[in-house]
Amino acid sequence: MTDTTRTLIERWKSDPSGTYQTWFLWPKRLKNFRSIRRGIGAVVEEIHAGTFGNAYRGSSLETVVASVAEQRQIFKGADHAFLWKPKLRIPDIYENADNQRAFARLLHTCNCCDTEAEMLTAIQRLSGVGIKGLGPAVANLLYFIHPTLLPPFNTAIVNGYNALTGAAVKLGKWDHYLAMRDRILALNHRYRDVLSNDLGALAGLLFDVGTGRYPAPPCNDLPGEVSAWEDDLAKVREQASALAKQIQADKLEDATHTEVQGWLRDLGKSLGYAVWIATNDRGREYNGEPLSLGCLSALPATLLVSGGETVPLIDAVWLDPATLEVAAAFEVEHSTSIYSGIVRLLDLALGTSQSATKHLFLVAPDNREAEVRAQLSRPAFSRVAELNMRYVPYSSLREHRENIARFGMGIKPIEAIAKSL
């Protein structure tokens, strides 16, 4: 049987007016990749810094999307998905700060990671947030970060894909995009010898079919494509459901972790200490206010010697307010790796010029005591014994923290509720 799809590809490639000749082989196409990636990085930095603003016009995002839209006909109208539509209040990444940060996390992950799994997980996480008006058109940005893994997405491409394969991909649905992506990768692999590793080539073909420039060949030369797409769609939805459950579990874990940090923050202040909260947790909300409220904004330089990268990530540190010498340090390990928490405490105790501190505490749920002891028995942590690192169960801290705050002085009350390891 004649492979009509292969014939279509070969004719399309030789057409001087098709997107293969006019866009895919366009010399300036690849030159724009780097500038678009840099622009995406700028968007992420502004959102993280809180300077992005609440409008599309004049933003760094408008600059990036304009660069994409200039990529000739296949991306014409790419800015439509990002334009602020006030009556519908979409896409909701300008007025909703949490949605804005979720969007930035996706861009940052895809801009920095190298693995397919990391990117797909990031997309699933954004999809799980359910940001109104922000759908798979975002893939038009992601394509310029990883063109061999993430195809662009617009109405014409979807129409061309459906016509070529007989599938029923719908616009605006992330699960449909991910299932379509799987089949595009399979199609690209099948016709790799006449296409490219860069998925832009196949996307260009689908675009020309979808706009009616080329009629789609009969689907009977692609046996199983529809059922394969349906299988992929079911798989994508199953993965999304599992990820949604994991995200919910992560939120509960983060809430508990933050609550315990809040206890340690308030207890340290009550005992008269200056308190440091881990750099990556300072913006978390605790009792309606930032976790770092009233805490130190910087650590003394004496703590940033060889442990400069890890010490600021210790969950809570109590310091003498006059000398800024460390009085105690706490790592809260709700369900994450106890190993990494021990390493950070060791970096503080052994790797900084304030190496005299002996008040190091692992704070963890009561049911993790055996796990804490098992980690500390490892040969790699042989120095722990001389440092007298101790374990504080959640229940002890919860039960005694108010009395310690009211009647306690110094570190002795914490030592009294801690367990020697």
Spatial CB neighbours of 220, under 8 Å, sequence gap ≥ 6? none
238-293, pLDDT tens digit by residue? Answer: 765 776 676 666 666 666 888 999 999 999 999 999 999 998 788 888 888 889 99
pLDDT single digits (tens) 192-234: 999 999 999 999 999 999 988 888 776 655 556 656 656 655 6
Q: 390 has which bridge partners? A: 361, 420
Res 1: pLDDT: 39
The number of angstroms, rounded, from the C-alpha of 93 to the middle of its chain's C-alpha atoms is 16
pLDDT in tens, 126-173: 999 999 999 999 999 999 999 999 999 999 999 999 988 888 899 989
Residue 153 near residue 174, CB atoms below 8 Å: no
| Order of strands across the sheet that contains 390-393 | 274-277, 316-319, 326-332, 360-364, 390-393, 419-420
Average pLDDT, the chain: 85
**Extents of the domains making up the chain:** 4-223, 250-420
**Using 50, 70 and 90 to split pLDDT, how confident is the model at 181?**
very high
- List, in order, residues 6 or more apart from 146 with CB less than 8 Å away: 110, 119
**Is the predicted pLDDT of residue 55 greater than 90, yes or no?**
no
Answer for the pair 44, 111: CB distance below 8 angstroms, yes or no.
yes
Q: Are 94 and 52 in contact (CB under 8 A)?
A: no
pLDDT band at 71 (very low <50, low <70, confident <90, very high): confident
- Give residue-wise pLDDT tens across range 349-368: 887 665 556 699 999 988 88
Closest Cα partner for 260 from 326, 331, 360, 313?
331
Q: What are phi and psi of 309, to 5 degrees?
A: -85, -30
Q: How far apart are CA 7 and CA 247, in angstroms?
A: 46
